[in-house]
Amino acid sequence: MKKTNSIRVFAPGKLMLLGEHAVVYGYPCISFAIDRGVTVELSEGLRADKVTSSVSDDRFIRVAKDVFFQKNAVRRVPMHITIKSEISGYGLGSSSAVAVATITALLQFYAISFSKQKVFDLSYEAVKKIQPKASGYDVATTIYGGVILFDGKTKQVKKINIKDFPFLVGFSTVKADTSTLVEQVSEQKERESQRIDAIFSSIGHLVKEGIQAFNNRDWKRLGGIMDENQRMLSMLGVSTNRLDEMIFVAKHHGALGAKLSGAGGGDCIIVLCWKNSKQIMYETLKKAGIPMVPLNFSSKGVRQL
């Protein structure tokens, strides 16, 4: 198979707008891509494989390579892989972005034709080697870009037709441990299955309402749905005092809605506001002591640079 010399691939980070945790149990969720992400550069090396990475956890590069070579009958050559991340440590999806960018770069390097579905299948398989319960929503988001409705059961993706929406992101300064939180919820589900199932089912309904709000560009309604989803996450026990405090401050200053994004336990909050008050809100929340993360929406998914 023909090989290409040097490949550079960018995969965006993501945020979870509605539906975390429930998506692990087959419910849908809504997530979206951001304009910051991970760049993977891959070229043929001289002797052994070499990885230079600004991401401390290099397991995702290793599993991505392993899965790629298991599934593709190509001649293995020494490779230099360089990873640069703009999103590590915030819960913005650097692990899945690394896996997706590495798989995409390898497919390009070996000039293998591929579809988004193929990149998803290979990357998701890689991610599951490290996080066996992962729903795959983050892998799908970085591949497709924009806002997506992700089905936790079928893993199908539906892109929501939207160019941008007015949100801000604040960082709790605590890095969440997704696997531990997913395990915590799973143990709780075993202890109190009816209560937890009822919460998941309500979250599933909120996601459906969220899609309607998106389609109608009804940000006030979407904000209310985010608040309701946050209440459900608190009931699951995955919010923290710091996250609650940040959300309270955002709401106090007029946010349309605010919630944690992802597993909980730390990482970031998403704040929804009116488009014309976005800049003022950013400054106000910063002054109020919330470490704001300057990032924007991105309608684009993984791509070769």
- Tell which residue, 58, 186, 185, 69, has the closest CA to residue 122: 69
Task: Pick the binder of ligand PMV from 64, 176, 211, 272 (CB under 6 A).
Answer: 176
**81 touches ligand PMV (CB under 6 A):** no
Task: Pick the binder of ligand PMV from 85, 142, 172, 178 (CB under 6 A).
Answer: 178
Q: Which stretch binds ligand PMV (CB under 6 A): 15-23, 64-72, 78-86, 156-164?
A: 15-23
* β-bridge partners, 259: 270
- Binding-site size for ligand PMV (CB under 6 A) equals 16
Question: Do the beta carbons of residue 63 and residue 130 sit within 8 Å?
Answer: yes
**103 touches ligand PMV (CB under 6 A):** no
Which long-range contacts link 183-186 to residues 24+ away (Cβ below 8 Å)? 183/133, 184/237, 184/238, 185/21, 185/24, 185/236, 185/237, 185/238, 186/24, 186/133
Write the DSSP string, 208-258.
Answer: HHHHHHHHTT-HHHHHHHHHHHHHHHHHTT---HHHHHHHHHHHHTT-SEE
**135 touches ligand PMV (CB under 6 A):** yes
Task: Pick the binder of ligand PMV from 13, 28, 91, 257 (CB under 6 A).
Answer: 91
Per-residue string for binding with ligand PMV, 242-281, x by CB under 6 A?
Answer: --------------------xx------------------
Task: Pick the binder of ligand PMV from 24, 148, 206, 272 (CB under 6 A).
Answer: 24
Q: Which stretch binds ligand PMV (CB under 6 A): 17-25, 191-199, 208-216, 218-226?
A: 17-25
Distance separating alpha carbons of residues 110 and 274, to the nearest angstrom? 46
Nearer to ligand PMV, 110 or 171 (CB): 171
Alpha helices in the chain (DSSP H): 59-71, 94-109, 116-130, 137-144, 178-191, 193-215, 219-235, 241-252, 278-287
Name the minimum Å distance from CB 294 to ligand PMV: 19
Nearer to ligand PMV, 87 or 281 (CB): 87
In the complex, the residues that contact ligand PMV under the rule CB under 6 A are 16, 20-21, 23-24, 91, 93, 134-135, 137-138, 176, 178, 182, 262-263
